[in-house]
Structure 1
Amino acid sequence: MSNQTKIIAALLAGVAVGAVAGLLLSPDSGEENREELAGWFKDMYRSSKEKAGELAEKGRNAVKSAQSKDFASATDDVEKTLGV
């Protein structure tokens, strides 16, 4: 796991812990909190789905580019495109 991946994972974990703490300390009713949490998860799902689609498109483009080059430069292009 790269350092960038670890940082992103830690950031997402921190956001999740903060959201749970905020809900537990919220003066709203349980039903309101559940509705808010459900909306947040739906938004996160949509956002994750979009990001996954973008990453898949970058991967497809990197593969197409790699097919037209020699192996060494193709590997460099794929790593550069994916940020590895």
Structure 2
Amino acid sequence: MKKETKIIAGVLAGAALGAAVALILSTDKGGEVKDKMTDWFCDLLDASKDKLADMTDQVKETIAKVRA
């Protein structure tokens, strides 16, 4: 992954986290928002793990091709 892509991903993740914290702290219905945000973060984490696994597989395949 390029350096610029990592920076952009970090900024977007930080913005999402900041928005989630602001929503949780600013509403009277914090329990509902907290549940929704928890589900959203769990989904985001699962998607990130899947993406990382895919990238790992691609790197391993590329290394195997280079060595062959």
Please give the TM-score of this superposition, normalised by the length of structure 1.
Answer: 0.66
8 Å CA contact 2:24–2:33 kept in 1: the answer is yes
Runs of 4+ in 1 over 2 A off after TM superposition: 22-27
Give the % identical residues.
21
Tell me how many residue pairs correspond in the alignment.
Answer: 67
1:15-70 CA distance string (max 9 Å, x none): 1112222233334x2221221122112101211111111111111111111112xx
Greater C-alpha Rg:
1
1:44 aligns with 2:51: no
Q: Which moved more, 1:3-12 or 1:43-52?
A: 3-12
- Where does the alignment leave 5 or more consecutive residues of structure 2 unmatched? none
Corresponding position of 1:54: 54
Give the RMSD, CA atoms, in angstroms.
1.9
Gaps of 5+ in 1: 69-84
Q: Structure 2 matches for 1:1-80, cutoff 5 A? A: 2-27=3-28, 29-68=29-68
Relative contact order (C-alpha < 8 Å, sep 6+): which is higher? 1
